[in-house]
Amino acid sequence: MTVRTRFAPSPTGFLHIGGARTALFSWAYARHHGGTFILRIEDTDVERSTPEAVQAILDGMQWLGLGHDEGPFYQMQRMDRYKQVISEMLLAGSAYRCYMTKDELDALRAEQEARKQKPRYDGRWRPETGKTLPPPPDGIPYVVRFRNPATGVVAWDDKVKGRIEFANSELDDFIISRADGTPTYNFCVVVDDRDMAITHVIRGDDHVNNTPRQINLLQALGAPVPQYAHLSMILGDDGQKLSKRHGAVSVMQYDDDGYLPEAVLNYLARLGWSHGDDEIFSMEQFVEWFDLDHITASAAQFNTEKLNWLNAHYIKQADLHRLGDEVTQRLARQGVSIAGGPEITAVLALYRDRAGNLNELADAVHPFYVMPHPGEEIRAQHLTEVALNALLALRQRLSTTPWQTAELGQAVKQTAAELGLKMPHVAIPLRVALLGLPQSPAIDAVLEVLGRERVLTRLDAVLPC
């Protein structure tokens, strides 16, 4: 049997970090087994679903590189199929019409809650042998309810949580078709999972309580029951639950914030899953290793600092031309063009080991392309009379120094030596003159990459005429 998994988001917002991890695990499981990964858009909530959200989810999946093999399927386009199954169930007696109004239902629930009972449908329209139902009232649209087994237990071996059992007596007859004739979530999921021959349902653990209902439905339909793996939730950095109002951000925000997708993926892979002590691995390696047995059952707290560490690691590894493209774009957004400046890959080679994200990298590289204007405080502190004197001497030497790292380093050293100064007393003012900052990578390398012309121009700009 080939493995078929699916990711089934509802398009009511962007793809957030929790959804992304669910997608990643479903995708990896299918890939690991040479199976099929299906994308299904659960858009039956017409009120809240938007085409923008569909696009945002697609964009997020693409940025992460989680390609699907089938779909995207849209539930709204499968209405005829759902209605067909509902009429079959009505005919077979596994579902029935319920004429209770919404108001009556609300009243019932309020009363149950007042008595501190679990709110649930009381089965008043459920056909039972020997029970006479009232005649269907006129003018009241009906909903269709699933006739859930009244006794016994539903159980399954959850691949992450182990065996879970529910007593059928805890489950009420839930609505599968609304008064307006549209099918509901639990029903659509079941029909789709069956029609799409899903073998492994990997989803968030907020669905644990839906699972027994879905299994009962599946069985009523005579369909095979897939394996279930319920992933526990991801908490925010502060240990609080993520929500639209609190901390939940689009995966695309990570792009904006300067994260590489492979860093986000690697981080997410380790959040709730492990392979011994391995921390850093490629997606190829992840797919090879991934299994359901090593998924943690408890909730995990998101840790931005660890993500940052991984991101820094991947920036160090990344191809310089790719980093060049990323940084060029980010600079362009700030109105900075690299045209006419030093070779971007050469500059990046100096900075990639010291940046935590792409935006920091862009900021670091910025002064190479824009004439720096060190602030008053920095000038006062570093461009002292002694320092300027040294820079003047250095300027003269640099106008003839062969433009190679070793020679340039020598030039700075000799200047310092001749003036009886220590290295930092020359190198730091030089950094300020060249880049507007007292810190930089090795000064000889900075000189080399900047080029003689720009170096002399920048020195002249701080030197008194």
Partner RNA sequence: GUUCCCAUCGUCUAGAGGCCUAGGACAUUACCCUUUCACGGUAAGUACCGGGGUUCGAAUCCCCGUGGGAACGCCA
Catalytic positions are 244
Q: Phi/psi zone of residue 105: left (φ > 0), alpha (ψ -120 to 50 degrees), beta?
A: alpha
* Residue 459 burial class via C-beta count within 10 angstroms: exposed 0-12, middle 13-18, buried 19 and up: buried
334 near RNA, rule: CB under 7 A: no
Sole window of 83-91, 161-169, 256-264, 450-458 interacting with RNA (rule: CB under 7 A): 161-169
Output the CA angle 250-251-255, nearest 5 degrees.
Answer: 115
Closest distance to RNA from the beta carbon of 130 (Å): 26
CA–CA dist 248, 245 (Å, integer) = 7
Interface size with RNA, residues (CB under 7 A): 84
Site for RNA in 412-431 (CB under 7 A): 423-424, 427-428, 431
Closest distance to RNA from the beta carbon of 28 (Å): 15
Closest distance to RNA from the beta carbon of 335 (Å): 26
Sole window of 78-86, 245-253, 439-447, 453-461 interacting with RNA (rule: CB under 7 A): 439-447
Which has the closest alpha carbon to 21: 75, 62, 61, 77? 61
CA–CA dist 216, 222 (Å, integer) = 10
Which one of residues 54, 196, 197, 210 is an interface residue with RNA (CB under 7 A)?
210
Q: Which is nearer to RNA, 122 or 256 (CB)?
A: 122
Give the amino acid at 5: T
Site for RNA in 89-148 (CB under 7 A): 100-102, 105, 109, 116-121, 143
Q: Which alpha helices (H) appear in 299-436, and where do they start and end?
A: 304-317, 320-333, 344-351, 358-365, 376-382, 385-398, 405-418, 423-435
CA–CA dist 419, 424 (Å, integer) = 13
Which one of residues 244, 246, 316, 321 is an interface residue with RNA (CB under 7 A)?
316
Which one of residues 83, 124, 207, 379 is an interface residue with RNA (CB under 7 A)?
207
CA–CA dist 182, 444 (Å, integer) = 71
Q: Phi/psi zone of residue 335: left (φ > 0), alpha (ψ -120 to 50 degrees), beta?
A: left
Q: Which is nearer to RNA, 44 or 94 (CB)?
A: 44
Site for RNA in 370-389 (CB under 7 A): none
Site for RNA in 26-55 (CB under 7 A): 42-45, 48
250 near RNA, rule: CB under 7 A: no
Tell me, residue by residue from 51 to 90, as one string, x for binding to RNA by CB under 7 A and - for no binding: ----------------------------------------
Which one of residues 3, 196, 197, 208 is an interface residue with RNA (CB under 7 A)?
208
Tell me, residue by residue from 213 to 232, as one string, x for binding to RNA by CB under 7 A and - for no binding: -------------------x
Which one of residues 63, 281, 289, 309 is an interface residue with RNA (CB under 7 A)?
309
271 near RNA, rule: CB under 7 A: yes
**The residue to which tokens 């991984």 are assigned:** 310
**Longest Cα–Cα distance in the chain:** 110
Which has the closest alpha carbon to 310: 262, 350, 250, 248? 262
